[in-house]
Amino acid sequence: MGKAYMVCMVLTALITLFMPAQVGPALWGHFGFIHLFSLLVLYCVPAAYVAAQRHETRAHAANMVGVYVGGILVAGAFTFAPGRLLHTWVFGTGSMV
For the beta carbon of residue 77, count every other beta carbon within 10 angstroms.
Answer: 9
pLDDT at 56 over 80: yes
Task: Give the alpha-carbon dihedral of 63, 66, 72, 76, to 10 degrees.
Answer: -160
Query: CA 34, CA 57: separation in Å to the nearest integer?
Result: 29
Query: CA 66, CA 26: separation in Å to the nearest integer?
Result: 24
Task: Give residue 84's pLDDT.
Answer: 78
Least confident of 21-30, 38-47, 63-72: 21-30
Higher pLDDT, 63 or 20: 63
